[in-house]
Amino acid sequence: MSKLAGKVAVVTGASKGIGASIAEHLGAEGASVVVNYSSSKAGADAVVAKITGKGGKAIAVQGNVSKAEDIQKLFKETLAAYGKVDILVNNAGIFDFKPLEAITPEHFHSQFDLNVLGLLLTTQEAVKHFGPEGGSIINISSIVGQMPVPQASVYSATKAAVDAITISLSQELGPKKIRVNSLNPGMVETEGLHAVGFAESDFRKHVESITPLGRIAQPVDIAKAAVFFASDDAGWVTGQTLLLTGGQRQ
């Protein structure tokens, strides 16, 4: 039997990269998946097509989860389609590296409004719709929350905040049988990594050289861990931050 049969999962920022892979893997395990996207309808529709093409259930719902009204719309459409929520994956986020002298209020707020405030507001709304049996919330954090890198002070701060929120909410929501955990990937080969030029950079080669498993992650590496946290296999796991770095610790 599929691990997530009968469950409903909302995955934010799921039109590409890590979010898309997580949505596809949750769908493959039997969950009905809400593929949230901000701007890439074509990408979200492609993810839905992959899930439904394999016999799964999925819909795409547009919404910028840094905006409260869009979050409410996301869950209204989720309930209309599936009637409940069992799993929330807070994947939506952005990164923008800048040196100290280039940091502006706009640079700060663009990342904190989505990566931190958006995560909190999305979780706040989702919790209203979890049933008495509880469920699972999975926050996509990053290794840089614990091991910051140069020129990423704001982004690293957002991910350190996500780790703190994960632990705090695991304690707050535990009595409601809602588990809260975070996945903290190292470098992952995504469209975003290629867009900023890191995919072919000396920095990537450096990361690979200090990673015991000798490569950077693929989205599937993160997605498989998300399935574990979403499933009853992790029924006694909450408040944890799992480093998905291939053994990299520096």
Residues annotated catalytic, as ranges: 155
What CA–CA distance (Å, rounded) separates 4 from 176?
20
Tokens of residue 145, six digits: 């929350």
- DSSP secondary structure string, 27-55? HHTT-EEEEEESS-HHHHHHHHHHHHHTT
Three-state DSSP state, 58: strand
What CA–CA distance (Å, rounded) separates 10 from 85?
7
Q: Pairing mode, if any, of strands 135-140 and 87-90?
A: parallel
Q: Select from 49, 38, 180 the least CA-distant residue to 114.
A: 38
